[in-house]
Structure 1
Amino acid sequence: MIKIRKPNIRLFGLFLLFWGTMAVNAQESGELLNGKVSYVTGENIYVRFASTNQIENGDTLFIRDKNGLTPALLVDNKSSISCLCSVLGEHTFKVDDIVFGRTNKPVREVVQQQQDLPEKDVNERVLISQEPTKEPTRTQDINGRLSLSSYSNISDEADNIHRFRYTLSAKASHLSGSKISAETYVSFTHKLNQWEVVQENLNNALKVYSLALKYDINESATFWAGRKINPRIANVGAIDGVQFEYKFKNMFAGIVGGTRPDHQDYGYNFDLFEYGAYVGQSKKTSNGFVQSSLAFFEQRNSGNIDRRFVYMQHTNSAIKNLTLFSSMELDLYKVENEKPTNTVSLTGLYFSARYRFSKRLSVFGSYDNRKNVIYYETFRNYADEILQQASRQGVRARINYRPVNGFIVGASAGTRFRDEGPRPTKTLNGFATWTKVPALNASLSITANLMQTSYLDGQVYGARLSKDLVSGKLYTMLHYRWVDFQYVNTLTNLQQHIGELDLSWQFSKKLYLSANYEATFQDQQLFNRLYLNLRIKF
């Protein structure tokens, strides 16, 4: 018997209000740009790309986790090769973390030569649909990137750990001039002298994030087969199966069917069947875009319902200098006393707003409310023990000010708390950045971070100096941090001095090498970390 609780009707009304007021649309699909976190200061994250030509202020950057591509950063400012970003949600970052940007691939157009029409920019070509006068020319294009990395943790107090990671990402468009394209993103990770772990289960080391074929039925319809993360519904994660999408004017719609990767080793698991559909709309305004999406999904385990939910996402820059981002997730299925019921419950709600008063002053605020997601079959024993879903709520605010050109100061504060938690987490951060120090022609940043969590009170102070030794070719960075943690329930204190040196070489457009060394001094102990990375494009 279907059971609808009265309080949940209000949530359903909230769902309708969200959909009606936000105007539907999802993030545009397109190419993924790989970037790397180069510096972390308070709630500001610096991400370095080979080029930021296809990234704009206000764009969303993503991280790849077990759920797929997840919105994580908002671009506040950018230079030719780096972006200054603010964090979306409760994500944490460290230097060398991989971040993804998304390009909006323009719709191919063919215009008769006798028409004298003004040239449209990229965004207009994406959003304006025109009937081609003839079948567009398909040209084979194969490109990719091979990355070789090593992570070493060396210490006299513990066993040394050496980890190696190899990744391959490649895309082949219109093979032999056909309608068929392919893409792949694969990584292989293992530790030195621990090859038996790989031999026990290859999936412990090999992770296939994408391996799919695409067939362009026509200019509006696309068919995918294989493992792929759909950028329209990135929160669902990788899908092993088939996907179909149809675009019409500014609207698009798609259906998906297949299985989820295994929860333990990310391999193929044909017991985890799932299916769903999504719809969206994109609209260009005089000041930016209005983009939203709505997706429905049902996930099963061995034929039984694991989870059923609706996800909505919206970005809006229609008002000048104002950027809004919001997402909502509603679960539609619940098991109580071993009896399944169809209910509507709010699983996640996130909202952020950024307003630029001028080129010198901007403010940002966000609200986050999330509950633990329960998969009633996959984690059945765990679900049976839960009497009440844990809820986490958080509020953040940030202000950035540029008093003069080349000098930026900022401060941020936030709080996060859980139901029946011992005490809320509070953070207070400040920073000052001088982008062009005279004589040195370098960038200097000074940071201060104060925090209170359920188990410690802490403070971290740091200074960072970065410089292009050879413009566009050789980059270096020096970083120092002092850490002081006071644990609440014990007499233990932790103080650390952390020094870091980073060197990056761009030998050519296709060859990049970086080396990062970090030394941590703690109670007359020395811990060393060395990270090496070689990237080759083809």
Structure 2
Amino acid sequence: MTRQNKHILFLSLFLLMTSVMDNLNSQNKVELLSGEVSYITGQNVYVKFGSTQKIEKGDTLYTMKNEVRVPALLVMHLSSMSCLCVPIGDNTFKVGDILLATIKEKTVFPIHEKDIIEKDINEQALSKVGDKSNRRSRRSDFSGRLSLSSYSTFAEADQYNSHRYRYRLSMDAKNISDSKVSFETYLSFTHKSGEWDRVKDNLSDALKIYSLALKYDFNEATSLWTGRKINPKIANVGAVDGFQFQKQWNSLYTGVVVGSRPDYEDYGFNPDLLEYGAYIGHQSKVTNGFAQSSFAIFEQRNAGNIDRRFVYLQHSNSIIKDVTLFSSMELDLYKLEDGTDKTELNLIGLYVSLRYRFSGKISLFGSYDNRKNVIYYKTFQNYADEIIQQSSRQGYRFRLNYKPIKYMNLGFSAGTRSRDEDPRANNTLSANVTYSSVPFINASFTLNGNMMQTGYLDGQVFGGRLSKNLLNGKLYSVLNYRWVKFDYVNTSTQLKQSIGEVDLSYHFNKKLYMSVNFEATFQEENNSNRLYLNLRKKF
């Protein structure tokens, strides 16, 4: 057996022996997505992520220096797994460098008739309050998914070619054998071709365990989780390694959490990052939907020292017909100033979103976001010592969806985000029109345009997308084209690109799925191609 075959066999056995749950949408608010520099041109840096779903144009990518996040790259353009970026300041990079991106919700324009609701990350985790599928049940239920994928880059310069492989397994086993015990877990294993020694040197670099928890239901109202678990009632806290106890009385619930945070560098287990807290909340069904409020107080430590102490308040409701409201607020209670502990109330985050459906044809969404950098006084003590004033990001976003006639959808979106240190605000304006039943070919066609203004450039992206179901719906095909133009502020530099994409997805049956995505980027120099393959099996 060759060495490569041994690796494949090892990974297959490893995955088959592990169980996990697919619940990665909610991450710790201060957790960062890790990406890697995959390709460099004279003007741009390409950073590859597992997914760019939570990254937006105009966002900043960071490097870590002496435990301090340092702004390094500005995101100019996105594909499904890669960011095209420009350096900030005099930063230089090489292929393989690690960059970090904060998790944010990405605006998604609907291309089908079903309206897509934009939500904050915590709103997503708590949006299933009234869902019948989320109610308690003593019946045994099992679901799982195994995913194998590869991501390859082919560039004119051989040194930029790369091949990455990712294996994911998820499982959710509720009330095993009709018992009071449930189990959930999710993991991802990633490695790069020709770099197996790197995996052996640092397994945590390749293996990420996002959830691994066991639950015991004392009765229908009382439960205990142990292991690594993201609690949707306190989603902003993120994953907790420890114990989570919850008790419910009709519409009132309360809980206690004791454990530790995942390591901020490799997401591994770190008992030094102790945290504990409690929460209380109320949820109920109302005439037009649901109403829910929650309050949590937490203290987080590092090697015994106070790292952070904060409270979190959240409210969401659909009391008014056709109106959905979500709001969250986070306040720090602890401050370390000149080596002295202080108790001081400080607003760290405020987020409010409102959605109103005027009729079946038109809906309006708006949000306000005002969040500051969260300071962990011991984890990032060098950073905290240098801070004079916390950086605050203010953002407004609006989206209007309109369906003037059958099969046609129009979308308009505008947003602005700014911080005190930004040269100028990040402004975006987007529009799209979709016709979901093109005559003669029975396909869906979308035209879209995006204009942006950031502190570093003015940009325009225009494109068209044609999608069609083939082979009685088993094969879904997409042709996509984008034209990109960026004019950089304070320089004569300009970037022009043409990006073509072909996406084919085939459903062998309800449980087996395969997709092939090919993307080609053309510019004056350093053209490149990317190929993404994915095979997914449900069980």
TM-score (norm: length of structure 1): 0.78
Does 2:397 correspond to 1:366?
no
Does 2:116 correspond to 1:85?
yes
Secondary structure of the equivalent of 1:163?
Answer: strand
Q: Distance in 2 between matches of 1:140 and 1:412?
A: 44
Contact 1:152 1:160 in 2 (8 A): yes
Counterpart AA for 1:196: D
Q: Distance in 1 between matches of 2:24 and 2:473?
A: 18
Aligned to 1:145: 145
Contact 2:501 2:519 in 1 (8 A): yes
Counterpart AA for 1:282: Q
Measured after TM superposition, the shift of residue 234 of structure 1 is 1.4
1:139-162 C-alpha deviation (Å, 9 max, x unpaired): 443321111111111101342111
Aligned to 2:386: 385
Q: Distance in 2 between matches of 1:502 and 1:309?
A: 45
Contact 1:32 1:101 in 2 (8 A): no
Q: Distance in 1 between matches of 2:169 and 2:163?
A: 20
Counterpart AA for 1:227: R
Secondary structure of the equivalent of 2:287?
Answer: coil
Task: Give 1:365-514 correspondences, 5 Å limit.
Answer: 365-514=366-515
Secondary structure of the equivalent of 1:198?
Answer: helix
Aligned to 1:337: 338
Counterpart AA for 1:142: F
1:46-88 C-alpha deviation (Å, 9 max, x unpaired): x9xxxxxxxxxxxxxxxxxx999x8847999797xx9643544
Q: Distance in 2 between matches of 1:330 and 1:89?
A: 18
Gaps of 5+ in 2: 1-20, 27-50, 59-77, 81-99
Measured after TM superposition, the shift of residue 103 of structure 1 is 5.0
Aligned to 2:320: 319
Does 2:300 correspond to 1:304?
no
CA pair 75-411 structure 1, distance change in 2 beyond 3 A = closer
Contact 1:147 1:536 in 2 (8 A): yes
CA RMSD of aligned residues (A): 3.2
Q: Distance in 2 between matches of 1:293 and 1:472?
A: 43
Task: Give 1:192-203 correspondences, 5 Å limit.
Answer: 192-203=193-204
* Residues 203-212 or 470-479, more deviating: 470-479
Measured after TM superposition, the shift of residue 232 of structure 1 is 1.3
Q: Distance in 2 between matches of 1:78 and 1:32?
A: 25
* Residues 517-526 or 431-440, more deviating: 517-526
Aligned to 2:227: 226
Measured after TM superposition, the shift of residue 401 of structure 1 is 1.5
CA pair 356-103 structure 1, distance change in 2 beyond 3 A = closer
Measured after TM superposition, the shift of residue 272 of structure 1 is 0.4
Aligned to 1:287: 288
Q: Distance in 1 between matches of 2:433 and 2:319?
A: 31
Q: Distance in 2 between matches of 1:74 and 1:325?
A: 16
Measured after TM superposition, the shift of residue 305 of structure 1 is 0.5
Q: Distance in 2 between matches of 1:407 and 1:78?
A: 10
Contact 1:151 1:530 in 2 (8 A): yes
1:490-536 C-alpha deviation (Å, 9 max, x unpaired): 21110000001111111111111111111000114321111111111
Measured after TM superposition, the shift of residue 89 of structure 1 is 5.7
Measured after TM superposition, the shift of residue 256 of structure 1 is 0.5
Measured after TM superposition, the shift of residue 177 of structure 1 is 3.3
Measured after TM superposition, the shift of residue 366 of structure 1 is 1.2
Aligned to 1:261: 262
* Residues 175-184 or 415-424, more deviating: 175-184
Secondary structure of the equivalent of 2:527?
Answer: strand
Contact 2:255 2:279 in 1 (8 A): yes
Counterpart AA for 1:213: L
CA pair 318-251 structure 1, distance change in 2 beyond 3 A = same
Aligned to 1:95: none
Q: Distance in 1 between matches of 2:319 and 2:526?
A: 54
Counterpart AA for 1:410: G
Contact 2:111 2:446 in 1 (8 A): no
Q: Distance in 1 between matches of 2:125 and 2:465?
A: 24
Q: Distance in 2 between matches of 1:105 and 1:165?
A: 35
CA pair 263-32 structure 1, distance change in 2 beyond 3 A = closer
CA pair 222-289 structure 1, distance change in 2 beyond 3 A = same
Aligned to 1:54: none
* Residues 403-412 or 266-275, more deviating: 403-412
Q: What fraction of aligned residue pairs are identical, expressed as a percent?
A: 55
Task: Give 1:121-140 correspondences, 5 Å limit.
Answer: 122=132, 126=135, 138-140=138-140
Measured after TM superposition, the shift of residue 173 of structure 1 is 2.3
Gaps of 5+ in 1: 1-29, 48-65, 92-98, 107-121, 130-135
Aligned to 1:55: none
Aligned to 2:5: none
Aligned to 1:251: 252
Measured after TM superposition, the shift of residue 403 of structure 1 is 1.1
1:98-144 C-alpha deviation (Å, 9 max, x unpaired): x98975597xxxxxxxxxxxxxxx38x95xx9xxxxxx8x5443321
Q: Distance in 2 between matches of 1:204 and 1:410?
A: 41
Task: Give 1:509-524 correspondences, 5 Å limit.
Answer: 509-524=510-525
CA pair 421-77 structure 1, distance change in 2 beyond 3 A = closer
Q: Distance in 1 between matches of 2:139 and 2:121?
A: 42
Contact 2:277 2:298 in 1 (8 A): yes
Q: Distance in 2 between matches of 1:160 and 1:253?
A: 52
CA pair 67-531 structure 1, distance change in 2 beyond 3 A = closer
Q: Distance in 2 between matches of 1:363 and 1:177?
A: 44
Measured after TM superposition, the shift of residue 416 of structure 1 is 1.1
Contact 1:146 1:537 in 2 (8 A): yes
Counterpart AA for 1:155: A
CA pair 242-89 structure 1, distance change in 2 beyond 3 A = closer
Q: Distance in 1 between matches of 2:141 and 2:120?
A: 37
Measured after TM superposition, the shift of residue 265 of structure 1 is 0.7
Counterpart AA for 1:519: A
Q: Distance in 2 between matches of 1:203 and 1:517?
A: 30
Q: Distance in 2 between matches of 1:387 and 1:77?
A: 42
Secondary structure of the equivalent of 1:378?
Answer: coil
CA pair 299-326 structure 1, distance change in 2 beyond 3 A = same
Measured after TM superposition, the shift of residue 450 of structure 1 is 0.5
Measured after TM superposition, the shift of residue 318 of structure 1 is 1.1
Measured after TM superposition, the shift of residue 279 of structure 1 is 1.2
Secondary structure of the equivalent of 2:328?
Answer: strand
* Residues 286-295 or 241-250, more deviating: 286-295
Aligned to 1:210: 211
Q: Distance in 2 between matches of 1:84 and 1:291?
A: 23
* Residues 364-373 or 455-464, more deviating: 364-373
CA pair 537-89 structure 1, distance change in 2 beyond 3 A = closer
Q: Distance in 2 between matches of 1:76 and 1:518?
A: 21
CA pair 502-101 structure 1, distance change in 2 beyond 3 A = farther
Secondary structure of the equivalent of 2:233?
Answer: helix
Secondary structure of the equivalent of 2:307?
Answer: strand
Secondary structure of the equivalent of 2:389?
Answer: coil
Q: Distance in 1 between matches of 2:114 and 2:409?
A: 14
TM-score (norm: length of structure 2): 0.78
